[in-house]
Structure 1
Amino acid sequence: MDITTLMGIVLGAGLIIWGIVTSGDLGNYVDVASIILVIGGTITAVLASYPMEKLKKTLTITKIAFQNRSHSPTNIMKEIIELSSVARRDGLLALEEAGNKAEDEFLKKGIMLIVDGTDPELVRNIMETELTFLEERHADGRGLFDSIATFAPAFGMIGTLIGLINMLQGLDDPSTVGPQMSVALITTFYGSVLANAFGMPISAKLKVKSKQEILMKELIVEGLLSIQAGENPRIIEEKLKTFIPPELRSEMGNSGEGE
């Protein structure tokens, strides 16, 4: 599990509660009608924005924000270099056994395409098409939380307008102005918290995770095509090092480092 996602949400909520408690009464910030309006309104707006089937698929993507992927770019590089050594020594057909053992489905698919003798250009097209659809699925996942970050403040404002209308209707009784104004502002508060402490951070985390996964799969595509082209494992290693930051290249050894 990616503890930073959960930690960020929990600490954010904790800081908000701390700020409330140290400056006033926590009970003043609790209004059931406002909570229902903001959370319920946001949920209904999201439901209206997504077809049910797409919404179900999108929700499964959001778990990425809370997961730690076991594969790192350096591990994938080492695996590809090992595959290139096998292919150079025993031929491309020898990769079939390694392909069956591969844990990464994207890597396994690419290996099998090569073993089947698929044209290199077609291999690239197939793998890059899969990457394109992967990016689209990830964008849908982020879009869900972007929608939450958009709709929550909007429903908070709607609640504020409702509260202001009620306040204006009761101006003949000055004692009700303060409580009515307080309730009116609470819905805006709830909307801002939901957007900034939940929707936007999860969307940002999914974007980071998506970039990491896409980078790893682009590395796989380049590595497999280099293997298919019969390039030297040493050349493949140097080529793949360009995909990762300099500070991670040391994990692959000091060779090829010019920095």
Structure 2
Amino acid sequence: MDKMTPIGLLLAAIAVVGGSVLKGSGVMALLSGAAFVIVLVGTVAAICIHTPPATLKHAMKIFKWIFRPPAQEAEALINELVEWSNLARKQGLLALEPAVEEQSDPFIKKGLQLLVDGSEPDVLRSTLEVEIDAREHGDNAGAKVFEGMGIYAPTLGIIGAVLGLMAVMQNLADPSKLGKGIAAAFVATIYGIGAANLFFLPVAAKLKAVIADQTRTREMFVEGLVGIARGDNPRNIEARLRGFLH
């Protein structure tokens, strides 16, 4: 559980609501059904046009990573790779076959199977790097969905403000409605800028950081397998892999 995400969301809510109260506007000034429809529904509409269905579905799937990122047990993986290296040097690559069935991660299982099958180091690296690149590209495309929403939301907020001011202009004959109408018009701007900078863009940034960590761990794993395939000394493999932890 990433505790910083709920803390950040709570602080974001406090910043907006508390700021409104301290400025004398009150909480109720932030509530506007029209602004909600224009900004949030409009943003979702824009991103649906912008994004292919498969990418949008993947973005919703990886959204949970901002709260529970995939476990990255790099230290444990290094220990396993060193253990496999020692075993391979003593008994040969076929001795690693039982370890293949024990793996729950499809990527690790595939890489280990390629190693057991006797793939050349260059073939092993190139095969797994293709999958790493494909996964990273797909995951980053999902993260960019939220980045796109962060770009569209402020513009929709401006549209909402303009529509609100148009409504105010229609009531110029009644000065008592002008102040309240102008204030309501700018709520859409708050929704747009607030949603972009306090939610959508931070979500995209956190997802990209999680994806980068996953990619680095997979690259470390590939480097370890290549070292085993070349018959490198287990101590040298361990020293090289620990460089990925910094």
1:29: which partner in 2? 30
User: Structure 2: which 5+ residue stretches go unaligned?
Assistant: none
TM-score (normalizing by structure 1): 0.90
Q: Deviations over 1:207-232 (max 9, x none)?
A: 11111111100000000000000011
The 10-residue stretch of structure 1 (19-28 or 142-151) with the greater mean CA deviation from structure 2: 19-28
Letter matched to residue 4 of structure 2: T
Pairing 1:230-241 to 2, within 5 Å after superposition: 230-241=231-242
1:5: which partner in 2? 5
2:221: which partner in 1? 220
Distance 1:125 1:175 in 2: 71
The 10-residue stretch of structure 1 (219-228 or 44-53) with the greater mean CA deviation from structure 2: 44-53
The total of aligned residue pairs comes to: 245
> Is the 2:65–2:207 Cα contact (8 Å) retained in structure 1?
yes
Tell whether 2:201 aligns with 1:192.
Answer: no
Q: Deviations over 1:125-150 (max 9, x none)?
A: 11000011111112112111101101
Tell whether 2:16 aligns with 1:16.
Answer: yes
> Is the 1:58–1:137 Cα contact (8 Å) retained in structure 2?
no
Distance 1:5 1:27 in 2: 26
The 10-residue stretch of structure 1 (7-16 or 28-37) with the greater mean CA deviation from structure 2: 7-16
TM-score (normalizing by structure 2): 0.94
Per the TM alignment, residue 196 of structure 1 is displaced from its structure 2 partner at its CA by 1.1
Q: Deviations over 1:187-219 (max 9, x none)?
A: 000111111111011111111111111110000
Tell whether 2:151 aligns with 1:150.
Answer: yes
Letter matched to residue 168 of structure 1: M
Root mean square deviation, CA, Å: 1.5
The DSSP-based 3-state class of the residue aligned with 1:188 is helix
1:165: which partner in 2? 166
User: Structure 1: which 5+ residue stretches go unaligned?
Assistant: 246-259
The DSSP-based 3-state class of the residue aligned with 1:38 is helix
The DSSP-based 3-state class of the residue aligned with 2:172 is coil
Distance 2:28 2:139 in 1: 39
Letter matched to residue 139 of structure 2: H
Letter matched to residue 19 of structure 1: G
Distance 1:212 1:169 in 2: 54
Tell whether 2:180 aligns with 1:175.
Answer: no
Per the TM alignment, residue 237 of structure 1 is displaced from its structure 2 partner at its CA by 0.8
> Is the 2:58–2:139 Cα contact (8 Å) retained in structure 1?
no
Letter matched to residue 236 of structure 2: I
Tell whether 2:132 aligns with 1:128.
Answer: no
> Is the 1:5–1:205 Cα contact (8 Å) retained in structure 2?
no
The 10-residue stretch of structure 1 (191-200 or 113-122) with the greater mean CA deviation from structure 2: 113-122
